[in-house]
Amino acid sequence: MKSVRPIILAHGGAGSRAVTPPQAACLRAALQVGYHLLARGSSALIAVEHTIRVLERSGLFNAGKGSRLQLDGVQRMDASIMEGDSLRAGAVASIEGIIHPITAARLVMEETDHVLLVGPMAGKFAHHFKVERHRLVGKPLRFSYETALQKIAQNREKHGTVGAVALDRTGTVAAGASTGGIDRMLPGRVGDTPIIGCGVYADNETGAVSMTGLGESIMRLAVAKEICDRLTKGNTPATAARLVLKKLVARIDGSAGCLVLTPQGQFTIRHSTPHMMAGYWAGCGTPVIKDSFR
């Protein structure tokens, strides 16, 4: 079997904010971790998980330690991961009290027959497998739906997820994403990230996609799967991403960014937002990190 040249892509969210120097340095470090695993023969799945773990632990992005609080003052997180060989996938939603939701998602995939676990029971599952805990400083806030709905009606910055896609030496692709949601979330709100086919998708017959942006719009078009379907029809990654993001904006005024990678090593990073913190590395030179890909 011919060996494939591995590659890793990662993102830290799409929106109106430019990448900061600490965020760029963290993305660079995450790509280095992921690529070195691939270079040593690790699977795309493991590379994606450990790339995202670097971003979750940093506290610099809206994932893991840096996750936004929901309107009751509680940090709830979502994550998913998928590999393209056997189409295995795992996800968690509204999970609390851990640093690495992406690892909890992988454990759902590998240790159960399920795809998605949610809420307090997802947390108990993670604790059973000793996923590192994180105790948020502070206390839950007094919550009322009247006040919450007023806050939601205000303009807000739409914070994205972190995510990664990878191609390993065997030609297998994988995708993952992890998020703390958006500003001013109702307790229990879940976006696209843990929904397979919306926030992530991976299939060795098409490619791997990791999304970021406004989850409500991404879910309504099942964007990750639609991009993969267009790859099946012969679209290049750049064309598939451009057409689906254009549709997202035209049909429902959505906003998003994506990483797209094929089993042949073709890739693109595209976004409909002003900025997208992202980068890639195939082992030559240094990782490429930018906050705009046009």
Q: How many CB atoms lie within 10 A of CB 278?
A: 31
Sheet of strand 200-203: strand arrangement: 200-203, 207-213, 256-261, 267-271
Out of 51, 103, 147, 161, the active site residue is: 161
Of the candidates 177, 13, 157, 166, which has an alpha carbon nearest to the alpha carbon of residue 93? 177
Please say if 161 is a catalytic residue.
yes
**CA–CA distance, 35 with 17 (Å, rounded to integer):** 27
List the beta bridge partners of residue 250: none
Report the DSSP pairing between strands 77-83 and 7-15. unpaired
Indicate the length of the chain as a whole number.
Answer: 294
What is d(CA 87, CA 8) in angstroms, rounded to the nearest whole number?
Answer: 19
Q: Is the dihedral of CA 65, 177, 123, 215 positive or negative?
A: positive
Helices (H) then strands (E): counts for the chain = 8, 12
- CA end-to-end span of the chain, whole Å? 36
Catalytic residue positions, numbered? 161
